[in-house]
Amino acid sequence: MSVWSARRFWKTETVVPAEGGFTVQLDARPVRTPLKAPLILPTLALAEAVAAEWQAQAAKVDPEAMPFTRTANSAIDKVAPQFGAVAAMLAAYGESDLLCYRAEDPVELVERQAAAWDPLLLWAAEELDAPLAVTSGVMPVDQDPDSIARLADLVEAMSPFQLSAFHDLVAISGSLVLALAVTRKRLDAEAAWILSRIDEDWEIALWGEDEEAADVAARKRSAFLQADRFYGLCG
């Protein structure tokens, strides 16, 4: 059975215990991933969130309206089979973290970046034992391999479900430090999103907002906040 049927074929959604966690049944038929693996969720809260998405479907199933289900599918079908490669890719963001690359001018933007980002880099240095170097402009700066290794350890300690959500937090913000600050409760997701947008918001203040760019930003913000919620439900 493909759970991505174009039309709704079920009447009821039920969360039930399963080996390794919980699953969602549609008329007593267990939901499966696109690759036909059992959709086993690690926590009851996450399973209930997935069930609520299925319940909200109308006559036609809209995968775009089911972010929890999509991320769970990704955790099982994509992340788990190549966990090491995904973790390494995300840890590598520490080598070119958004917070480490600062504007050279104007002075107002330089000061705004420093005021917003320096406290987070200090947090990374003190709480994560991972100090990172800062540079101005686009030329790359070498980071301490020990710092990158410690950040990598934190990423590799996540479960496949956590890592799936963490991927979006990192990729959307461009910052491993911001993503870790969110998952470790140093920042809430909305605050982290705003901090990731300092350069863009500066440009908007100067030149005005482009409608298409604003639409893209809104979708990214929604995905970022959704990833934080998914991570929080993983237990």
Closest to 171 in 3D by CA, of 235, 92, 80: 92
Cα separation, 105 vs 123, whole angstroms: 25
- Domains of the chain, start order: 1-65 (3.30.2180.10), 82-233 (1.10.3580.10)
Q: Is the pLDDT of residue 5 over 60?
A: no
pLDDT of residue 111: 97
Q: How confident is the model at residue 69 (pLDDT cuts 50, 70, 90)?
A: very high
pLDDT at 139: 86
Least confident of 128-132, 137-141, 166-170: 137-141
**Among 48-52, 129-133, 135-139, 187-191, which is the least confidently predicted range?**
135-139
Return d(Cα 98, Cα 134) in angstroms, integer: 10
Residue range 25-54, pLDDT digits in tens: 999 899 999 999 999 999 999 999 999 999
Task: Return the C-alpha torsion angle 202, 214, 58, 75, nearest 10.
Answer: -50
